Chain A
């Protein structure tokens, strides 16, 4: 069974640009969550989706948004990039509530 896949694996952008990251969950998983990992703040929850609906959102500005498609694939978008958005962005999927979450390899975003 294939694991969680994330594309692209690496991205370099400049301040002010926008970026879209993609996540394909494990087959059959309907819940997708996104996390940001930085050296200063650690792993922080961004948002989660279940059946195309955003169920929960972390404390991030509105520049961070996401969506989930009917096949459970998810995308997150960051607009007007700032230097501080440089991070490893991780996607996790699970069957539903109260189940273990499995993480993808992440997308390393560098903002110059």
Chain B
């Protein structure tokens, strides 16, 4: 049972344009969400997070939006750069500030930014 889903296995975007990566979840107990970027043979790199008390969080070129009623979150990258090409994972945890750091990961979206 995939509790965190990234339905687009891949996405191709032109340099300078916006990249939008989507993520859906099924467990209403999830209340803290994170995005990670991963290159092959390396560990994931933390990008940005959002708690369920917010609907938007920005950090430089990265913005995460959370729609709790739809159980949907998205990562916007503006402007996209070739160095952003990687696999992006969304992750969720059921207990922000509580007694677990367990992350449930989506299956990932491969972003390719074309020069």
Contacts and interface: CB of A to CB of B under 8 A. Distances in A.
Interface string B98-110: 1111111111100
Interface range for A: 20 to 34
Contact of B101 (A48, A58, A88): A48
Interface in B58-84: none
Contacts of A84: none
B100 A100 contact: no
B45 interface: yes
Contacts of A4: 43
Contact of A90 (B43, B100, B102): B43
B14 to A, nearest CB: 28
A58 B3 CA distance: 14
A106 B41 contact: yes
B89 A43 contact: yes
Interface in A53-106: 55-56, 58, 88, 90, 92, 94, 97-106
Max chain B C-beta neighbours (<10 A), residue from A4, A88, A108: A88
Shortest 9 CB-CB contacts between residues of A and residues of B = A103-B43, A98-B97, A43-B105, A103-B44, A100-B46, A42-B107, A56-B102, A98-B96, A56-B100
29 contacts: A31-B101, A33-B102, A42-B105, A42-B106, A42-B107, A43-B44, A43-B91, A43-B105, A44-B105, A45-B104, A48-B100, A56-B101, A56-B102, A58-B102, A90-B44, A92-B43, A92-B103, A97-B97, A97-B99, A98-B32, A98-B95, A98-B97, A98-B101, A100-B34, A100-B49, A101-B34, A105-B42, A106-B43, A108-B41
